[in-house]
Structures are given as C-alpha cells and as structure tokens.
Amino acid sequence: MSIDDHPLIAAPNGARHAALAALAATGPVHWVPLPLETHVWLITGFDEARAALVDDRLVKAGADATPALRSLRPEVATGLHYHMLVKNPPDHTRLRKLVSTAFTRSRVEAMEPKIRRICDGLVGGLVERLNRGESVDALAVFAYPLPLGVICELLGIADTDEDRMRVWSRALLADGTIPVEEFVRSNEELLVFLREQVAQKRRAPGEDLLTALTQARDGDDRLTEDELTSMAALLVLAGHETTMNQLANALLALLTHPGQWAKLCAEPALADEAFEEALRFDSATQVSIPAVTVAEMDIAGTVIPPGELVMVSLPGANRDPKRFPDPGTYDLARAGETHMAFGHGIHHCLGMPLARLEGRIALRALAEAVPDLELAVPAGGLRRAPSLLINGLEALPVRRSGARPETGWAEG
Ligand code: HEM
C-alpha cells in the first residue's frame, strides 16, 4: 500500500474514498499499516462498526496510543489529552456527566443568533471578494473562521489568535504525519494558552462554557486542573476542526453535484438535509479514536488477537453499499437515514446539536447569498490535508460562475 492509495492518508482528492472502497470490497475488517511503524485494524462495514463501538472487549487506548503522543512530556500529555474521548467507564462516565451539566441543550440553542451574526459577517466578506471577480479559498475565509469563532464565543475565549490556533490544531491532528518536534511544540504552546484561559475565568468568571466548566459540580465531584485544560482542548479542537472540514466537504459535495446545489438554492430550508447527507457522503471524522482489544475478537471471520489497535472508519461505514445503495452519490433525498458520522455508543459526539446548527445556518446562508457559486479549479485537482483523524481538504477555491479566470485566486 503506497501513500497515494492509503485509505487514511492519500492526499489527491477522491483517492481516500477510492482506496476505502477497494478495501471494503474485500471485507469489513482490514490490517492497515500506519506511519511511524505501527498498524491498525480498520473496520469499514457499517454493521460491524456499530457493533464494535459498543463492544466492551474494545477499550480506548488512552492518551499515549501513538508514538507521537508518547513523545510528549507527561505533564503536557495529562494537561491536553486526558479527556473523555480517550477514557473508559467509569472515568468516561464521570467526565461526560460533569461536562454535560455545563454543555447543555439550552446553552447550544442560545448560540443561534450569535452563529448567525458570525456567519453573516463571513458571508458578507466572501461575497465582497467574489463580486470583485476573485477566486477565494472558502475553507480559509468561511469554513474555518465560522466554527472557530463559534466555539471561542461559546467557551468565552476572547483573544482568539486564528493563525496560532490553526498551527496548533493542524499539528495536533496531524499526529504521526508531521515531524515529532513540531507536534511537541504545538502541544506545549496550546497548553500554556489554555492554562491562561482557565486562570482568567477564575479571576473574572463570565456566562461562558469555560467558566461553567470551572464551576461544574456533581455532588462533591469536580474537574481537576488537568481535566479542565484537557476538556478545553477537546472542545476547541473537536469544536472547530471537525465542523470546519465537514462544512467544506459539504460545500464540495454540493458544488460537484450541481443538481443538488440547485435544489438547495431553490429551497434553502433544505440546508438540514444537505448537511446531513454530507455527513454521510464525505465524513470529516475519518476514524474513531483508537481502541485496544482486551480479548480476542472475531469480527466477521477476521480474528484480532488481544493487545491490537482497532479503529472504525466512519467514511467507510457511511459508504457501506449494504447499508446505503449507490453510496458514492450525494443525494439530499437520502438524508434521515442513520449514519455514523458522529460516532456511536458512549463516545457519541457531545457537540452534535451544535455542529448541526452551524451546518444548517452556514449552508443556508451560502445558498441564499451566492447561488451562482462554483469550484474555481477542477475537483480532481483538490488535495486532502495530512491527518489520520480528519478527512478534510487543503483548500476549497470557489468563484462566482462567469468570474474571469485571469483574475487568479487568492489564498485566504
Ligand atoms: C460536524 C462536526 C462534528 C463531527 C463530524 C464530530 C464527530 C465526532 C465523532 C465521530 C466522535 C466520536 C469519536 C469516537 O468514538 O472515537 C465525537 C466525539 C466528540 N465530539 Fe464531535 N464532532 C463534530 C462536532 C463537534 C463539536 C462542535 C463539538 C463541541 C463543541 C464536539 C465535541 C465532541 C466531544 C466532546 C466528543 C467526545 C464524546 C465522548 O467521548 O463521550 N464535536 N465527535
């Protein structure tokens, strides 16, 4: 298996889905090599994936699952990576309960006007540039700042430095695919930043989620300092990287299926369906967090010994032809069928209602403002960003149809 046909790493647009489809055609479970001399058992079948995510013979591998994570100083690892996503019951149950007392449905619903405000500002800026005939990277100027702005607003992080955050989150999610020193440096800087944010909330509490997390109680129980910074890191990263890439993947799906884009533009209330089908069609979260077998497992005839790393391929499960006929076609009429883009079982995405709200608002706003939007380069020329965890684009250049190609395209 070469880098360019690796189902988790291939960079040319379309290559990962093609590699996954080729793999999935041979069965639902696969031994796949990873960078840094390791490997994983990858589950691509929908039914097998759902069963694995609730099987207690598979336990989350913890905060030191990969060689890159093991290269961190212990206090950095505990300060950033000891969050619920890598924990098992009863620790996971405890953390999820504490966080859920602060990250409530009403807190998400209260975000709606703020999301609209952030979105309208970004769409305004995008349209202005498109109207000048520019080709613009919709990932950099829209899909990235929208969820980052939203999660920072939710957490009460005022002094967001978009460029630094971009470097940190890219490095953290590129685990295994960038030089280890870069990974270590970004982890250390992000931890210093988050410790300062938590300290500020203690000095001057606000109405925000980070303050609520510092105050969250379950009886006598509360989050420790490491749990707080780890939780903040999880929320900042999970809160914007996944959503940003899912928004860009959704826009790409729409622009490469002009009939579906026209449908959405004619009826913008279909934005919910458009986002939901994009979650299935081009899932931004590429794998569930690694888990380890604590006993031998036989999955559809493949025997996995104890002590092995296992991941579920969410794009694989979401394109299982046994579950979704003609899975490589993006079709709004399909939305409503259960997909696995938000995971399954006890680690099922905590931010799902917020992500759906952002997706709906964003796609609706774009369809209303620029129905003549189109890709500024052939879809085959796009590239996927390096990351084992995320299935996202490097850039998504768009323009208004009829925009003069000689105006070139600007980076961000
Ligand atoms: C379209 C956007 C999103 C996608 C596709 C997504 C996907 C996922 C997936 C697949 C998981 C489970 C991973 C596993 O089982 O290993 C997960 C967990 C999680 N997500 Fe999301 N997510 C999104 C947005 C968000 C947002 C906006 C937030 C927070 C503001 C968030 C917070 C979390 C948290 C805290 C967990 C861990 C839950 C646990 O371990 O119990 N996510 N997400």
Q: Summarize pLDDT for 15-41 with one digit per residue, the tens.
A: 999 999 999 999 999 999 987 668 899
- Beta bridge partners, 136, equal 398, 410
Mean pLDDT of the chain: 91
Atom of ligand 1 nearest to the CA of 84: 40
CA of 107 to the centre of ligand 1 (A): 17
* Contact in structure between 52 and 310 (CB atoms under 8 Å): yes
pLDDT of residue 197: 92
Tell which wins on pLDDT, 77 or 359.
359
Residue range 325-334, pLDDT digits in tens:
999 999 999 9
pLDDT at 311 over 50: yes
Atom of ligand 1 nearest to the CA of 283: 5
Under the banding of pLDDT at 50, 70 and 90, the label for residue 408 is: very low
**For ligand 1, atom 27: residue with the closest CA:** 239
Pairing verdict, β 135-137 and 397-400: antiparallel
pLDDT of residue 412: 35
Q: Cα 367 to the chain's mean position, in Å?
A: 23
Residue range 165-195, pLDDT digits in tens:
878 888 887 756 678 888 899 999 999 999 9
pLDDT of residue 53: 97
CA of 133 to the centre of ligand 1 (A): 37
**Residue from 342, 354, 389 to probe ligand 1 pocket by mutation (most atoms less than 8 Å from CB):** 342
Helical residues (DSSP H) of 132-224, grouped into ranges: 138, 145-155, 162-173, 180-203, 209-215
266 Cβ contact partners less than 8 Å away, ≥ 6 residues apart: none
Structure tokens at 286: 């590429």
Distance between CA atoms of residues 186 and 180, nearest Å: 10
247 lines ligand 1 (CB under 6 A): no
87 lines ligand 1 (CB under 6 A): no
**For ligand 1, atom 14: residue with the closest CA:** 288
In one-letter notation, the amino acid at residue 29 is: V
In one-letter notation, the amino acid at residue 328 is: G
Rounded (to 5) percent helix, strand, coil in the chain: 55, 15, 35
Measure Cα distances from 352 to 242, 316, 349, 365 in Å: 11, 20, 6, 20
Buried b (16+ CB within 10 A) or exposed e, 178-194: beeeebbebbbebbebb
**Residue from 242, 249, 279, 389 to probe ligand 1 pocket by mutation (most atoms less than 8 Å from CB):** 242
In one-letter notation, the amino acid at residue 384 is: R
Atom of ligand 1 nearest to the CA of 284: 5
Its pTM stands at: 0.94
pLDDT of residue 160: 67
CA of 349 to the centre of ligand 1 (A): 4
pLDDT at 111 over 90: yes
**For ligand 1, atom 35: residue with the closest CA:** 350
**For ligand 1, atom 19: residue with the closest CA:** 349
pLDDT of residue 35: 74
**For ligand 1, atom 37: residue with the closest CA:** 85
Of 154-158, 171-175, 278-282, 296-300, the one with minimum mean pLDDT is 171-175
In one-letter notation, the amino acid at residue 142 is: F
**For ligand 1, atom 32: residue with the closest CA:** 351
CA of 377 to the centre of ligand 1 (A): 31
Q: What is the DSSP letter of 83?
A: S
pLDDT of residue 401: 92
Residue range 261-285, pLDDT digits in tens:
999 999 999 999 999 999 999 999 9
Helices 243-255 and 271-281: crossing angle in degrees, nearest 10, is: 100
CA of 242 to the centre of ligand 1 (A): 8
Give mean pLDDT, residues 287-291. Answer: 91
Q: In this structure, is the dihedral angle defined by the CA atoms of residues 39, 43, 49 and 54, taken in order, positive or negative?
A: negative
Give mean pLDDT, residues 364-383. Answer: 97
Percent of the chain surpassing pLDDT 90: 76
Distance between CA atoms of residues 91 and 83, nearest Å: 9
Question: What strand order describes the sheet that includes 309-312?
Answer: 29-34, 38-43, 309-312, 291-293, 58-60
Q: Ramachandran region of residue 179, left (φ > 0), alpha (ψ -120 to 50) or beta?
A: beta
34 Cβ contact partners less than 8 Å away, ≥ 6 residues apart: 8, 40, 176, 388
Buried b (16+ CB within 10 A) or exposed e, 12-29: ebebbbebbbebbeeebb
pLDDT of residue 165: 82
CA of 171 to the centre of ligand 1 (A): 18
84 lines ligand 1 (CB under 6 A): yes
242 lines ligand 1 (CB under 6 A): yes
CA neighbours closer than 13 Å in the CB half-sphere of residue 407: 18
Give mean pLDDT, residues 343-355. Answer: 97
Give mean pLDDT, residues 38-56. Answer: 95
Under the banding of pLDDT at 50, 70 and 90, the label for residue 220 is: confident
Structure tokens at 33: 């090599």
Residue range 239-254, pLDDT digits in tens:
889 999 999 999 999 9
CA of 130 to the centre of ligand 1 (A): 33
**Residue from 101, 148, 349 to probe ligand 1 pocket by mutation (most atoms less than 8 Å from CB):** 349
Which one, of 293, 283, 275, lies nearest residue 320 by Cα? Answer: 283
Atom of ligand 1 nearest to the CA of 340: 10
CA of 284 to the centre of ligand 1 (A): 11
pLDDT at 65 over 90: no
**For ligand 1, atom 18: residue with the closest CA:** 349
Under the banding of pLDDT at 50, 70 and 90, the label for residue 308 is: very high
